[in-house]
Amino acid sequence: MSIAAALLPNKASAREKEHPKFDLAPAASYVCHQTSEKVTIGASVYDSAEKAKAAFGKLNPYQYGVMPVLVVIQNDSGKTIQVDHIKVDYVVPDGSHVDATPAADVRYLNGPSKPQQVPSPMPRIHRSKNPLDAWEIEGRAFAAKVIPAGESAGGFFYFQTGYQPNSRLYVSGLREAGSGRELLYFEFPLKDE
């Protein structure tokens, strides 16, 4: 299975076919990466319109207060790794952790403001579509449950914060599928590239 195949479900819906393919690089090729127990995690912050365009098209989530971080995991351990309980935190320089917002909840963040109601017997309410309610947000989110030996998976995690220099990414919850043994956590600097 290729890296890109692990990002998207096997059955491509009609909406998925409308969107351009988003290819992932090998985990070790990202400036921000760490290897432990033959598992490599690479990450990249998508905080510019230029970077966001490749993954999200015209949408730049960062301009709406949501920082997408691409996480790619390469499993060279020889054992299947469970990632269904993965936890990814953005750690700011003071040591505070910012939890990732589930991709399904991003559409409810920073939506357009409520329309002003005009005094009339039957006010008309026009609702604008929230730009964060786009296929790409959930369609490009990290969705893998397991990563077989020799395979990769990747996708985005979303944080309600802005990028801060000297921040780190903290990844935990990876387990060997056969034994259930949890791998050591990963914590590495997250640089704006």
| CA–CA distance, 174 with 186 (Å, rounded to integer) | 10
Q: Which pLDDT score, from 0 to 100, does residue 110 have?
A: 58
Question: Strand (E) positions, the chain?
Answer: 32-36, 39-45, 67-75, 81-82, 87-91, 97-99, 146-147, 152-159, 168-172, 175-176, 186-189
User: Does pTM top 0.95 for this prediction?
Assistant: no
Residue 64: is it exposed, middle or buried by C-beta count within 10 angstroms (0-12/13-18/19+)? middle
pLDDT tier for residue 181 given thresholds of 50, 70 and 90: very high
Q: What is the CATH number of the domain that holds 140?
A: 2.60.40.1230
Of the chain, the percentage scoring pLDDT greater than 70 comes to 80
The domain in which residue 166 lies consists of 3-115+122-189
Q: Which pLDDT score, from 0 to 100, does residue 129 have?
A: 75
Q: Which pLDDT score, from 0 to 100, does residue 12 have?
A: 47
pLDDT in tens, 116-174: 434 444 444 445 678 888 899 999 999 999 999 999 999 999 999 999 999 999 999 99
- The one-letter code for the residue type at 25 is A
pLDDT at 10 over 50: no
Check residues 12 and 31 and name the one with the higher pLDDT. 31
pLDDT at 101 over 60: yes
How many separate domains does the chain show? 1
| CA–CA distance, 117 with 97 (Å, rounded to integer) | 39
Q: Which pLDDT score, from 0 to 100, does residue 21 have?
A: 81
Among 14-18, 61-65, 119-123, the range scoring the smallest mean pLDDT is: 119-123
